[in-house]
Structure 1
Amino acid sequence: MEIKIYQVDAFANHVFGGNPAAIIPLERWLPDDLMQKIAAENNLSETAYIIKEIDKYLIRWFTPAVEVDLCGHATLAAAHVIFSHEGFEDNLISFYSPRSGVLEVERENDGLLTLDFPKDTIRQIEISKEIAAGFSIAPIEMWKGGSDYIFVYEKEEQILEMEVDLFELAKVDTRGFIITAPGEAVDFVSRWFGPRVGVDEDPVTGSAHTSLTPLWAEKLNKDKLTAVQQSKRSGKLSCKIVGERVKISGNAVTYMIGSISI
């Protein structure tokens, strides 16, 4: 059996930037264990599987270790594949995730792709030394979202210089950890770590910005924000609060088109 596969750099306008994702179009779902094995073999932070229906695309996301509820960069990458390689002519794609519901991606006039995702519900909690034990610098605030813990810091420099103990992070029962601070050239910066789900550090995490955008929108008293996720590859995002939704915009570029032999 031959299966088509694309590899796309999301939240980037050039290859070797942003966050790479594998996108695999299917006619029907493969067995779950096989989809997980393919994701592990790809060894990218996310592999997304999509199925075209009459009025929408079904989508599921797998890290090398588990299936996850939501992934921004792989959804952006999937939209790029559909727009650029799968013959889709409209400017709005409707995805449906069994775990996260309806997700839309719009192609803007300037070439940006804009995700329309549900806004995360976040709450401030008491700082826990045990939960924050994996980070070399103590946060000034601690928040909890639907999937991740969020640690707030005073300066961008602290985010860049942070030393991380992945063994300690893996002890905590959570999808991931976000560290964030005000940015020097953008509204806020962040990094994301998820060793428990097989992703030590993600280069650019779209879904994390469903938590970060409402947090910084309230702190900065603005509904349109610019962001950079700091990593070796890095990525820039434009974020906007629209009611109970978050719109997250970025570019994507194709790195590879190939096939899987099973």
Structure 2
Amino acid sequence: MKPIYVADAFTSEPFRGNPAAVCLCGKPEDERWMQQVAAEINLPETAFLVPIEDGYDLRWFTPESEVDLGGHATLAAAYTLWHTGRLRSDQTARFITKSGVLTVDYNGVDGWMTMDYPEEVPLPANAPEALIQGLGLIPRYTGKYRQDYMVEVDSEQTVRSLKPDRQQLAAAGGRGIIVTAKAAADAPYDFVSRAFFPKAGIFEAAVSGVAHCALAPYWTRRLRKPELTGYQASKRGGIVKVAVNGSRVLLSGQAKMMLQGTLEV
């Protein structure tokens, strides 16, 4: 039997942000078993933690596959360690992952936590026709990083009102499409975004930490501000504070514990 938790990440309110499961394992588990658990739980990501000498081994699985870099599930994992007393609030959560060492610090003010992640700078790219058709618009700017496209559109309202075509976006190539715009003038945040991953089993991510690894350097340069606040305008919605630190990005968010239980397999 293994302790398992569900937390909403990048929010302080229940039923908002992005839900993730966190499974605490006493030893490394078989990949097939982890994939089956993630499919059974059927949340956007399930994090599997194994204690090791210098922190925790961390792996992420969607209901469909393992991913090399997870965002909101890392925040949920660190929050779980502090919430359950496995780490003191003054201890850094240190994770060994397929994307290197990732750390999370508890800020001690209103439950904010800060993740140290690799920067992803989107490079200018041509928008595939399937992407244009899938979004139903011509982007103001198109960039690409890793396997994802990032496009800027003309306004926050355009981001919020998008009704993309899943089949067309899936045909655009790559893994995901991040759509973003400068926030409205009276908004309490600097930029908005939505993130679509038609090939990963979750069409629209409620809040994507990994997407903000690219959004942070892009908007830092565009707006010329060292620290920014982003709002992911999905149905659930969530806030991510960002700051670029050399070749790293600091992503800050809150979390809310929703469920605690035992996995009996």
TM-score > 0.5, shorter chain as reference: yes
Kindly indicate whether residue 31 of structure 2 is the aligned counterpart of residue 29 of structure 1. no
The answer as to whether partners of 2:130 and 2:171 remain within 8 angstroms in 1 is: no
Contact 2:242 2:250 in 1 (8 A): yes
The structural deviation recorded for 1:233 is: 0.8
Matching of residue 46 in structure 1 with residue 45 in structure 2? yes
Question: What CA distance in whole angstroms lies between the structure 2 residues aligned with 1:43 and 1:106?
Answer: 28
1:138–1:121 Cα change, 3 Å: same
SS at match of 1:114: strand
Asked if 1:152 corresponds to 2:152, the answer is yes
**Conservation of the 8 A alpha-carbon contact between 1:156 and 1:189:** yes
Counterpart Cα distance in 1 of 2:2 and 2:51: 15
- Residue 99 of structure 2 corresponds to which residue in structure 1? 100
Which whole-Å CA distance do the structure 2 matches of 1:148 and 1:50 have between them?
27
- Summarize deviations over 1:37-93 as a string: whole Å, max 9, x none: 111111111001011112211111111101111111100000000111142123311
Distance 2:227 2:132 in 1: 29
The equivalent of 1:137 in structure 2 is: 137
User: In structure 2, what is the equivalent of residue 180 of structure 1?
Assistant: 180
Cα gap change, 1:174 to 1:128, in 2 (>3 Å): closer
Aligned length, in residue pairs: 260
Sequence identity (%) = 38
Judge conservation of contact 2:230–2:242 (CA < 8 Å) in 1.
yes
Q: State the Cα deviation string for residues 147-199 of structure 1 (Å, max 9, x = none).
A: 31111101000001111111122223322110000012111100011120111
Do 2:243 and 2:250's aligned partners in 1 also have CA atoms closer than 8 Å?
A: yes
Length-normalised TM-score, structure 2: 0.95
The one-character-per-residue Cα deviations of 1:109-156 (angstroms, maximum 9, x if unpaired) are 202100100101320112322333211222111100113111110100
- Structure 1: runs of 5 or more not aligned: none
The alignment partner of 2:130 has SS state of: coil
C-alpha separation between the residues in 2 aligned to 1:49 and 1:217? Answer: 33
Is 1:214 aligned with 2:217?
yes
RMSD: 1.2
Which ranges in structure 2 are unaligned for 5 or more consecutive residues? none
**Does the 8 A contact of 1:24 with 1:50 survive in 2?**
yes
Instruction: Tell me if the contact between 1:22 and 1:48 (Cα under 8 Å) persists in the aligned partners.
Output: yes
2:121·2:218 contact (CA, 8 Å) conserved in 1? no
How far, CA to CA, are the matches of 1:123 and 1:180 in structure 2?
15
1-side partners of 2:126 and 2:138: how far apart?
13
Runs of 4+ deviating beyond 4 Å: none
What is residue 254 of structure 2 aligned with on the other side? 251
CA contact 2:122–2:150 (8 Å) conserved in 1: no
Q: Secondary structure at the match of 2:251?
A: strand
Counterpart of 2:208? 205
In the alignment, which residue of structure 1 is the partner of 2:115? 115
Counterparts of 2:14 and 2:235, CA distance in 1? 13
- Could you tell me whether the CA contact under 8 Å between 1:137 and 1:162 is conserved in 2? no
Separation in 1 of the partners of 2:5 and 2:174?
29
Aligned to 1:231: 234
Map 1:71-90 → 2, pairs under 5 A: 71-89=70-88, 90=90
